[in-house]
Amino acid sequence: MSELEHDDVVSAYLDGELTPVERAAFEARLAADADARAELDDVAEVRTLVRGLPAPSMPPGLIDELLATGTAEDAVAETGDAAPVLDLDTARTRRSGRARFAAYAGAAAAAVALVVAVAMPAQTSAKPALATDVRVHQAGAAASGDPVSGLAPLATPLRFGR
Amino acid sequence: MTSDRVPTWEEVARDHGQFLYSVAYRLTGNVDDARDLVQEALLRVRRGLATYEPGSLEGWLARIVTNVFLDDMRRKKRRPVQALPDEPDLVVPPAVAADVAADRAGLSTEIQAAIAALPEEFRVPVVLCDVADQSYEDIARMLDVPIGTVRSRLHRGRKLLRGELVARGVVTAGGVA
């Protein structure tokens, strides 16, 4: 199989990457082969679209920010006490870390709310039992005339069970 | 660009930051990763300027940003990024470049999405050739592969890209849609 039978010669032709001999042979093939011409048109269209893309806009202030960071790194080299320039992993970890922190904080808040919601009914049901115990104890102290028990009604043991 | 003088780091950042960002954005397909790539590439430029030999500065920069991209891809394959929770209000929305916002429904957005859909081994030569305007020989040197490999991957990449563009309705069998 000759070199020109590979279709990658089409892209190489468009990019000016063929030798003069290869180019002449491919142009002779184009003249005789409608499929080769169609292939050339297809690939040329894609190549033109990508090459015609406008330059993407940089985030505002990106270069100034990086230059300032670089200046800070120079200061580190001279004084040894400033924040170092971040490498790619560190920068990404810090950025995603902020998002993750927000996510974890939300999850933690939800967990606390769940615990409180579960615990609250038990506390609510304990209140009548405690109040009842205090009232019974005070009534007993008053009836018995025991001055010590009457002074310490809150020493009544708490009972959460039934 | 060819020059006999070694530029300062600040000159590279100011005069070629847009070039670095364009290549980075076409390789990664999103603003945040492109920004990280440019930052890391400029760090390597700072470290490497002492050994830079005047010649094709943009070729040198394209090689650096491509190496940063490929290093990052290898790292991600070894250590997949953990997905963040799905709740939309807990996730920081991705930043969007001004031209993307203004041209969200436009052709360039569709073309960028089609490039991003290419497997990395085809995307890299397409971006280096059609965005960074590098020769096959330079691309082969950057990727440490034979020129024939660049030629075949580039052509295959363009054909795959055409398939992506047809699927997105950007081009038809008869031309641009």
A88 versus A108: the higher-pLDDT residue is: A88
Determine phi and psi for A52, rounding to 5 degrees.
-90, 0
Please check whether residue B104 touches A, CB under 8 A.
no
> How far is A126 from A110, CA to CA, in rounded Å?
25
Q: Which of B81, B89, B63, B71 is nearest to B143 (CA)?
A: B63
What does the mean pLDDT of chain B come to?
A: 85
Q: Are B35 and B94 in contact (CB under 8 A)?
A: no
Amino acid letter, residue A7: D
Q: Which of B58, B26, B55, B37 is nearest to B131 (CA)?
A: B26
How many Å separate Cα B168 from the centre of its chain? 21
A11 versus A151: the higher-pLDDT residue is: A11
Which residues are CB-neighbours of B85 under 8 A, at least 6 positions away?
A103, A106, A107, B91
Please check whether residue B172 touches A, CB under 8 A.
no
The answer on pLDDT for B165 being more than 50 is yes
**Span A143-148, mean pLDDT?**
44
> Which residue on chain B is closest to A53 by alpha carbon?
B108
Among A39, A49, A69, A101, pick the best mutation site for testing chain B contact (most B Cβ within 10 A): A49
CA of B85, closest CA in chain A: separation in Å?
7
Please check whether residue B168 touches A, CB under 8 A.
no
Please check whether residue B8 touches A, CB under 8 A.
no
Which residues are CB-neighbours of A160 under 8 A, at least 6 positions away?
A122, A125, A126, A129
Q: Which of B122, B116, B112 is nearest to B158 (CA)?
A: B122
Instruction: Give bridge partners of residue B171 from the DSSP assignment.
Output: B176
Please check whether residue B83 touches A, CB under 8 A.
no
CB contact under 8 A, B38 and A62: yes
Residue given tokens 């279709």 in the structure block = A7
Q: Which of B100, B120, B92, B103 is nearest to B28 (CA)?
A: B120
Token pair belonging to A87:
């490498």
> How far is A16 from A6, CA to CA, in rounded Å?
16
CB contact under 8 A, B151 and A46: no
| Percent of chain B residues topping a pLDDT of 90 | 65
- CB-CB neighbors (< 8 A) of A85 in chain B: 43
- pLDDT for B23-35, tens place per residue? 999 999 999 999 9
- What is the SS3 assignment for B172? strand
- pLDDT for A19-69, tens place per residue? 999 999 999 999 999 999 999 999 999 999 999 999 999 999 999 988 887
CB contact under 8 A, A53 and B111: yes
The answer on pLDDT for B15 being more than 60 is yes
- CB-CB neighbors (< 8 A) of A95 in chain B: 32, 92
Among B26, B32, B35, B170, pick the best mutation site for testing chain A contact (most A Cβ within 10 A): B35
Confidence of residue A159 (pLDDT cuts 50, 70, 90): very low
> How far is B107 from B111, CA to CA, in rounded Å?
6
